Chain A
Amino acid sequence: MSDGEERACEGPDSMYVKLISSDDHEFIVKREHALVSGTIKAMLSGPGQIAENETNEIKFREIPSHVLSNVCEYFTYKAQHTNSSTEVPDFPVSPEISMELIIAANFLDC
């Protein structure tokens, strides 16, 4: 039954990747969404066998879950509206997290 099933989070061709926040929350997003971030893209597809390339899991020791959840929402938002001709709604950012979000965005190159 499940012999030919694609293993979702394993192997370089998996469709989803797992991003882990500093407080151990696991965020599973589509691989193509995560590649919006230049840093994640480099970690997952760079030459050589980096550990992240094998397991498709990346641990972010500095990014807490309330920031990483916004980052994941941004990935979906960007993927949805890139090359879209419809009106693009604003992406909401609350002031409490804006500082940390800027730091994370800088690190993630997105």
Chain B
Amino acid sequence: MDVFLMIRRHKTTIFTDAKESTTVYELKRIVEGILKRSPEDQRLYKDDQLLEDSKTLGDCGFTNQTARPQAPATVGLAFRVNDEMFEQLHVEAFSSPPELPDVMKPQDSGSTANEQAVQ
């Protein structure tokens, strides 16, 4: 079954899909094609859990139910800094939506917008 993913690192988000049977290593190959970093230089995370290359996405908890096209699952990505170290997993949050204007906030039905200035 298809699973839909957002692979996120810092300010980059890759929208892609794969199968539940796709392995973590194959997903790293897809990232390699886009961001030009080899799989050995990548680490993929689900929440804060490091994913092993040999596991499939289904094994890691990405299923057709949790990773739908209109609500893809998030995979964290970190690159290798040097021979020994990887960077910290860090994902920039998206901007916050503005506060709802009063007229759109849920209100009891029956209230109107009439205001009478009391003097």
The answer to whether residues A26 and B4 also contact, given A73-B72, A77-B70, A96-B98 and a CB cut-off of 8 A, is no
> B53 within 8 Å of A by Cβ?
no
In B26-64, which residues have CB < 8 Å from any A CB?
Answer: 33-34, 36
The answer to whether residues A5 and B70 also contact, given A26-B12, A96-B100, A97-B97 and a CB cut-off of 8 A, is no
Interface residue from B4, B11, B68, B100 paired with A25 (Cβ < 8 Å): B11
> A92 within 8 Å of B by Cβ?
yes
The answer to whether residues A91 and B13 also contact, given A23-B95, A65-B95, A66-B97 and a CB cut-off of 8 A, is no
> Given the complex of chains A and B, what is the CA–CA distance between A8 and B71 in angstroms?
24
> Given the complex of chains A and B, what is the CA–CA distance between A11 and B13 in angstroms?
20
How near does chain B come to A29, taking the closest CB pair, in angstroms?
5
> Given the complex of chains A and B, what is the CA–CA distance between A23 and B98 in angstroms?
14
Q: Which residue of A lies closest to B34 (CB)?
A: A8
What string of 1s and 0s marks CB contacts (under 8 Å) between A6-50 and chain B?
101100000110000101111111100100000000000000000
